[in-house]
Chain A
Amino acid sequence: MVGETLRNYLMIAWLLPLAGFVVEIFFGFYSKNPRHSKAAAWCAVGCIGAGFLCSCAALVTWGNANDWCALEHHDSHGEHADAGHETAGHEHGEHAAGDHHVAEPAHNAAAAGEDHGHEHAVAAASGDAADHDDHASGSQQTTYSGVLYTLGKFGSLELSLDYYIDSLTLVMFTMVTLIATCIHLFAMGYMSEELTDEYVDHQAHTSDGKHVHRPGRFYRFFAFLSLFCFAMLGLVLAGNIFQVFIFWELVGICSFLLIGFYTERKSASNAANKAFIMNRVGDFGFLIGLMVLWTFFGTFRFGDTTNAEGVVAEQGLFSMVHRDEATGNFLTEPITGDVLITDNHGHALQQDGQNRSIPYYLLVVAGLGVFAGCVGKSAQFPLQTWLPDAMEGPTPVSALVHSATMVAAGVYLTGRFFPMFVQEVLLTIAYIGCITLFVAATIAVVATDIKKVLAYSTISQLGYMMLGLGVFGWGAGLFHLITHAFFKSLMFLCSGSVIHGCHHEQEMPKMGGLLKKMPITAITMLVGVCAIAGFPMLFGLHFSGFHSKDAIVASALAFMKANPSHFLLFFIPLLTAGITAFYMFRLWFYTFWGTPRDHHVHEHAHESPWIMTVPLLILAPLAWLCAYGGESGPLYLMLTGDAPSHLANGVAAATEGGLVMPGHEAVHAVHIQAGLLALAAAFSGALIAYILYGTNLVNVEQMKNQLSGIHGFLANKWHFDDLYDALFMKPAHKVAAFCAWFDKTVFDSILHGSAKLVVLVSQWDRIFDEKVVDGFVNLLGTSTQSVGRSFKVVQTGRLRQYVMFIVLGVVALFAVVFTTFPG
């Protein structure tokens, strides 16, 4: 019952944006006044807003069904939870249950002023549930899966749309719909310039050097946004890996459409192509992973499907591999070392009298393949170069698609698929994340375009998440995913507000001193900056980034202590935490502090209208407080309610040279140490930023000149684009040029030669045709005509002759018969 209710809520939330897309794209096009109407935007906001309400309802339903056992302190170090509970209850009196789960503050924010009754009802209900929590054991069902619709059946391969609902799904749904709602609202203001029949694009030029004039595309923008939301929610809801792939590609195409929204700009269409093609590289690996999985497991589903009696009808992927309780490794065939494919109770499945198994290296291939898809989508090294270019899209797109949701999908999938990853794959994930976070952070230090800084910081933060997952910090990585979504979308919206206010000026050196001009934007931005830098304590409440980054760094430290050879996995993130604080504060000081550097820009700067500032004001408290309580707080507990069970205790290295997995105890033990180190790094980074950009003590230009070598290296993005250019583009161009040359010289000459030959033949053929064929036909015609005419001569009409002909005919026939017939 609960499963069906949840499914229905989430399906509504998932399908509403699709309906919205259909309405917007068609009715937007055919409506009377498509270029001036905001109807499409309201439709999109309505759909996603309703989706948010459905997600909240689903969250509450889920919580009530299992008596909020997810919020039980399944970690030993959650001693502050109750205290936090009390405090929160008092401090935010009107949000009675705000601390029970992440949905509540979100709910309050979105519902501000429009849905109080409902809110209180929900709050009361959840409050009751929490109060009368009988501390039921974890045996309650928290995961629901099933089939929505069967697409097709090909032999033993069944492709279907499934759902898989657990706490991660619900948190993701709520987060995505909430942020999307805010961004839709913001975009309504940001994109209002498109509400015209004659939009002048100042950054696109026609061949004669004039600006491009085109009709506004307001409704189209919102239609694409709705389609994107549909795809993203479908991805989160997906109950099998193939369905994930479908929606994976769908978000890819939406991203393509939105990056290339200003399609007349060469840079935008190039960026769209780049994003799409880079993602295809990753998806290639994804497909290989899918093939391996299907070949050996015979199914794409995550969860088990049950029949009407509740008996398991078909096993899902997650229940087909089992880990040894003691070592945490997959159960293997003793002789070959292949990983056994098991039933729900850990007994190997039989096929033709043999244990079904998958070679270990193929499980590695499958894991790396799926992770390759995540690398593409989450812009990890070495496929990170598309994300900065994707900033060519409108800023709301950057906020929604390229920071909060789509790029997080890679991290989400890594988390979702975590039970299938073996330790080699996890180590790869950790190192990829580590490299990514460092490279991106260093580039962000020298970037001057405000959106590019944020783009690189996004890549860097995604690297953190990957690192967290890779070092067994499943909860930490996903925790950071959620918190990052809030503060990064906030910062992008702030940057959008700045860009809007400065009339599409994105270069930070031309800004400065905007604090007084646009105070709301500046303050909310500061909240975001503090959050990402991981600053603690403002009025006794830690910033969300403080909790989540601490969790990751702690996981990394525990991992390093258990596996000392992988020390880099701790020190680089620690260093980068400082760099992060540095470049983020650099951004803030550059933009809002100091004296105006470009007076023209400064004079015309203005605060954005309310429809753009309200989303900022909604998101700012969330960015600050969403991680309230840290790893004992509701968000983390909720998120990790269905965490892979083998993580909690940790194991010693199962195989020689293998990885030791630190348990939660070990992580907790180093938590304070790690937190202090990270805090020190962050403060020092922020301090340096203040000294360099907040005061006039140091001449930054001079410093740049002195360090021109390293600055140039970083400004050129570690030469990745040049490297790819030399490695792939140039050879491709060479090959293409060779092909073109080959085509022109060889094929064309063959073609031309054969064309000439055909002409020659046809000329000859014409002569043949005219003289011989026509001649024959004419001859036939004239001869038959003349023969016919000669028949006419016989047909004299004289009766006497006719009778004579009878006689002659008989005699002639007689002669013929007697000469030819057999004797």
Chain B
Amino acid sequence: MFSELINNLIKETTGNGLNFFSAELWLSGTIVAMLLFRLFSLDRLVPTAFVGMIGAGLAVWYSFGQFQAIEADQSIVFFGGMLRQDLFSIYFRIFLSLFLILTIALTVLTGIPDNEDAPDFYSLLFGATIGMMLMASANNLLILFLGVEMASVPSYVMVGFLKGRKSSSEASLKYVVYGAGAAGVMLYGISLVAGVLGTGDMSLLADHLKVVSSGAAGLADPEVRTVALGVMLVMVGLAFKLSLVPFHFWCPDAFEGASAEVAGFLSVASKAGAFGLLVRFCIGLSGVPETAALMTAFGVALGAVAIVTVTFGNLAAYTQTNLKRLFAYSTIAHAGYMLMAVSAMLVMINSDQAAALSKEINYSIGGLLYYLAVYLFMNLGAFAVIALVRNYTFDEDISSFKGLMTQSPALAIGMAICIFSLIGMPPFGGFFAKLMIFASVYKAAGLHWFMYIVLAAGGLNTVFSLFYYVRILKAMFLEERPAEARKVSVPAVEGSYVLVLAAMVFLMGVLPGLANGLSSIANSAGSAVVSGK
């Protein structure tokens, strides 16, 4: 029997699994290659960034292969039920590996890390990315924990990568300790959930809960109460990754201490992976009538967390003068917007009209994915500008942006487009992303009144966010550059990098083909993850 199990595992692995895992494998192989190059001093001949670029490119290529091979609603578990292959996970693979390429390109442009540290840095970067891919394709609570940790541990090091700087090391330390605390809590939660429900398979959680609770699940039942506690503790771990209030404390400190490139990577990639995981976890707990009431409450609670997070993030950004810190809070706020989509999805999927609303449910997940895609470009663009300007002014304060328009119109305009999109102004991509999420929330509001409050908070916060973003625009365009300020003379390639990102933000708003294509892919990915249940 054991040998049969082994045989099945081998068969499954060689048949499907290795193919489905190819992107991660290529990234792993690249890590090995980079370290070997270093060992044999080949990195003097071939720049490590180049090797990394090839590895990331191959990952994109293979992910695209998977994208073309998979059918829309296909959902396959592999590696003994640990991972799940569907359009949703492929979307994240493509997303993350593309983002990897852009990040490598940015680090090449800004010169962090130097040649000596490059293999180490890129190994960490790749390792974190693999962790995030695992998060997005996790089908088991173990992989959930493994993915979160695999993404987190390299991140801790990357935040402290500016070794000579005290603030960097301090930020890294805070991040590690905070992360360790959160991981502990989450691990405890996982053990509670798995212990009571007798499975680690996320897609079975709801069914098992139904069995355990024998009837409609309610907190009066001690076992359900235990599971609820466990779920809540798991959520604390995810909230840490998503920097949701009140588990966001690490975020501003870590971002301020880390270099802008790392901050940009963390703000986008790590959020993306965590959202993938969150969606899978939530869907695993949903879809069974007995758990509906409980999960609706859960969704509403997420909505409440989203309100608090958005509001807090925006308000706290007001008084910031350090740009990285400001964008750290902005990141918190945007996580809140995206959480609204998950909240809306949960409310809809656990209502009695779930079958009729399947399109809207897909749309809410699609909105989240579209938001992530736009967020990739606009946030990376903003951090890229911060990093590039820092290279000339050695300063990351908002005052260093004064009169940037006269110094480097390309950076200023790129930054302006990214900021307008972050605010959510038409015709930029950010507007349509926000629109999709708010539309989902509005749909969900028909099912639960609280979502109206979520919607109102979302709208109101869009206004709040204007104030601190506009401060940056004002500094760039309206204020005089102080005479003693250092000159920003950006080479064309750096300017065009920013402009390409900005152009993507713009095109995702105005090019209907691009926007529709992407959002329909995102919607099918949403449909895939729901049907995988």
| Main secondary structure on B side of the interface with A | helix
B residues less than 8 Å from A808 (CB atoms) = 246
B301: chain A residues at CB < 8 Å are 816-817, 820-821
A contact residues, range: 20 to 34
The 6 A-B pairs with the shortest beta carbon distances in the complex, nearest first, are A788-B318, A791-B316, A809-B246, A802-B249, A788-B315, A823-B220
Q: Does the CB pair A785–B219 fall under 8 Å?
A: no
Residue from B173, B219, B317, B464 with most neighbouring chain A CB atoms (10 Å): B219
Complex CA–CA separation, A392 to B315 (angstroms): 80
Scoring A792, A813, A818 by chain B CB atoms within 10 A of each residue's CB, the highest score goes to A813
Inter-chain contact A817/B173, CB cutoff 8 Å: no
Residues from chain A with Cβ under 8 Å of B247 in the complex: 805-806, 809
- Check if A781 is an interface residue, CB within 8 A of chain B: yes
Q: Does B94 contact A (CB under 8 A)?
A: no
Q: How far is the CB of B64 from chain A (nearest CB, A)?
A: 40
Q: Is the CB of B177 within 8 A of A799?
A: yes
14 A-B residue pairs with Cβ-Cβ distance under 8 Å, sorted by A, are: A784-B315, A788-B316, A799-B174, A803-B181, A806-B181, A806-B236, A813-B232, A814-B229, A816-B301, A817-B219, A817-B228, A818-B225, A822-B219, A822-B294
Q: If the complex has contacts A805-B246, A820-B297, are A785 and B319 also in contact, measured as CB distance less than 8 A?
A: yes
Give 15 A-B pairs besides A805-B249, A814-B229, A818-B225 with Cβ atoms closer than 8 angstroms. Answer: A784-B318, A784-B467, A788-B316, A791-B316, A792-B316, A795-B249, A799-B174, A802-B178, A805-B247, A809-B247, A813-B232, A817-B219, A821-B298, A822-B218, A822-B219
Q: How far is the CB of A673 from chain B (nearest CB, A)?
A: 90
CA distance A817 to B236 in the complex (A): 13
Bound CA span A813–B247, Å: 11
Give 1 or 0 for each of A782-794: 1 = CB within 8 Å of chain B CB. Answer: 0011011101101
Inter-chain contacts of A805 with B (CB < 8 A): 246-247, 249
Provide the bound-state CA to CA distance between A818 and B294, in Å: 11
Contacts of B220 on A, CB cut-off 8 Å?
823
Count of B residues near A, CB < 8 Å?
Answer: 35
Q: Does B23 contact A (CB under 8 A)?
A: no
Question: Out of B228, B293, B312, which one reaches A791, CB within 8 Å?
Answer: B312
B233 in contact (CB, < 8 A): yes
- Among B218, B249, B467, the one with the most A-chain Cβ atoms within 10 Å of its Cβ is B249
Given contacts A791-B312, A797-B253, A802-B249, contact A821 B219 (CB under 8 A): yes
Contact of A787 among B233, B298, B315 (CB under 8 A): B315
Contacting residues, chain B, for A817 (C-beta < 8 A): 219, 228, 232, 301
Q: How far is the CA of A803 from the CA of B174 in the complex (A)?
A: 9
B252 CB-CB contact with A under 8 Å: yes
With A806-B185, A822-B293, A823-B219 known as contacts, the answer to whether A814 contacts B232 (CB < 8 A) is yes
Q: What B residues does A789 contact at CB under 8 A?
A: 319
How distant is the Cα of A803 from the Cα of B304 in the complex, in angstroms? Answer: 23
Q: Distance (Å) between the CB of A808 and the closest chain B CB?
A: 8
Closest to B217 in A: A822
Question: Which B residues touch A822, using CB under 8 A?
Answer: 218-219, 293-294, 297
B182 at interface (Cβ–Cβ under 8 A)?
yes
B88 within 8 A of A: no
CB of B78 closer than 8 Å to a CB of A? no
B232 and A791: CB pair below 8 A? Answer: no
Chain B 224-238 per-residue mask, 1 if CB under 8 angstroms from chain A, else 0: 010011001100100
B250 interface residue (CB < 8 Å to A): yes
Chain A residues with Cβ under 8 A from B294's Cβ?
821-822
B319: A residues at CB distance < 8 A: 785, 788-789, 792
Q: Nearest chain-A residue to B247 (Cβ)?
A: A809
Contact bitstring B416-449, A, C-beta under 8 A = 1, else 0: 0000000000000000000000000000000000
Q: Which B residues contact A (CB, under 8 angstroms)?
A: 173-174, 177-178, 181-182, 185, 218-220, 225, 228-229, 232-233, 236, 246-247, 249-250, 252-253, 293-294, 297-298, 301, 312, 315-319, 464, 467
* CB–CB B233/A810 < 8 A: yes
Contact, CB under 8 Å: B218 / A823: yes
Most A-side CB within 10 Å, residue of B297, B298, B319: B319
Name the residue of chain A whose CB is nearest to the CB of B251.
A795
Majority-rule SS of A interface residues: helix
A794 to B225, CA, bound (A): 32
Task: With A795-B252, A806-B247, A810-B185 as known contacts, state yes or no: A784 contacts B228, CB within 8 Å.
Answer: no
Q: Which residues of the partner chain A approach B225 to less than 8 Å between Cβ atoms?
A: 818
A interface residues, Cβ below 8 angstroms from B: 781, 784-785, 787-789, 791-792, 794-795, 797, 799, 802-803, 805-806, 808-810, 812-814, 816-818, 820-823
Smallest distance from the beta carbon of A514 to chain B beta carbons, Å?
A: 82
Residues in A neighbouring B177, C-beta threshold 8 A: 799, 802-803
Q: What is the minimal beta-carbon distance from B189 to any residue of chain A, in angstroms?
A: 10
CA distance A820 to B301 in the complex (A): 9
Would you give the shortest CB distance from B409 to chain A, in whole angstroms?
31
Most B CB within 10 A of own CB, among A785, A805, A806, A823: A806
Bound complex: CA A814 to CA B293 (Å): 18
Complex alpha-carbon distance, A816 and B253, angstroms: 28
Contact: A788 with B228, CB < 8 Å?
Answer: no
Interfacial chain B residues near A823, Cβ < 8 Å: 218-220
Report the Cα distance A563→B159, complex, angstroms: 119
How far is A813 from B298 in the complex, measured between Cα atoms in Å?
12
A806 touches B178 (CB 8 A): yes
A817 to B232, CA, bound (A): 9
Q: Which residues from A are CB-within-8-Å of B246?
A: 805, 808-809, 812
Q: How far is the CB of A797 from chain B (nearest CB, A)?
A: 6
Inter-chain CA distance A532–B164, complex, in Å, is 118
CA distance A703 to B228 in the complex (A): 127
Contacting residues, chain A, for B293 (C-beta < 8 A):
822
Distance (whole angstroms) from the CB of B173 to the closest CB of chain A: 7
Question: Across the interface, do A821 and B181 meet the contact criterion of CB distance under 8 Å?
Answer: no
For B301, give the chain A residue with the smallest CB separation.
A817
- Tell me the minimal C-beta distance from B29 to chain A in angstroms: 37
Minimum CB–CB distance from A156 to chain B (whole Å) comes to 42
Q: Which residues of B contact A806 (CB under 8 A)?
A: 178, 181-182, 185, 236, 247
Give complex CA distance A817, B318 in Å.
31
Distance, CA A806 to CA B186, complexed state (A): 12
Whole-angstrom CA separation of A506 from B250 in the bound complex: 104
Smallest beta-carbon distance A50→chain B, Å: 58
Contact A802 B174 (CB under 8 A): yes
Q: Which residues in A have their C-beta under 8 angstroms from that of B316?
A: 788, 791-792, 795
**Closest A residue, CB atoms, query B460:** A780
Instruction: Flag if B218 contacts A809 (CB, 8 Å).
Output: no
Interface pair A784/B464, CB less than 8 Å apart = yes
How many Å lie between the Cα of A814 and that of B297 in the bound state? 14
Give bound CA distance, A101 to B177, whole Å.
118
Chain A residue at minimal CB-CB distance from B239:
A809
Contacts of A799 in B (CB 8 A): 173-174, 177-178
Name the residue of chain A whose CB is nearest to the CB of B229.
A814
Give the distance to chain A from B268, nearest Cβ to Cβ, in Å. Answer: 22
Task: Please measure, in the bound complex, the distance between the C-alpha atom of A198 and the C-alpha atom of B191, giving whole angstroms.
Answer: 106
Q: Are B219 and A788 in contact (CB under 8 A)?
A: no
Nearest CB of chain A from residue B379's CB, rounded to whole Å: 21
**Given known contacts A792-B319, A797-B253, A802-B249, A818 and B236 CB-to-CB distance under 8 angstroms:** no
CA distance A789 to B232 in the complex (A): 30
A813 in contact with B219 (CB, 8 Å): no
Which of B218, B232, B233, B312 has the largest count of A CB atoms less than 10 A from its CB? B232
Contact A821 B182 (CB under 8 A): no
Bound Cα distance from A799 to B316, whole angstroms: 19
Min CB–CB distance B308 → chain A (angstroms):
11
Instruction: Please indicate the chain A residues that have their CB under 8 angstroms from the CB of B233 in the complex.
Output: 810
CA separation between A822 and B299, bound complex, in Å?
13
Complex: A820 Cα to B236 Cα, angstroms: 18
Selected from B182, B218, B297, B467, the residue in CB contact (under 8 A) with A781 is B467
> A791 to B315, Cβ gap below 8 A?
yes
Complex: A822 Cα to B301 Cα, angstroms = 12
What is the minimal beta-carbon distance from A782 to any residue of chain B, in angstroms?
10
Give the nearest-CB partner of A781 in chain B. Answer: B467
Q: Which of A787, A808, A814, A822 neighbours the largest number of chain B CB atoms within 10 Å of its CB?
A: A822
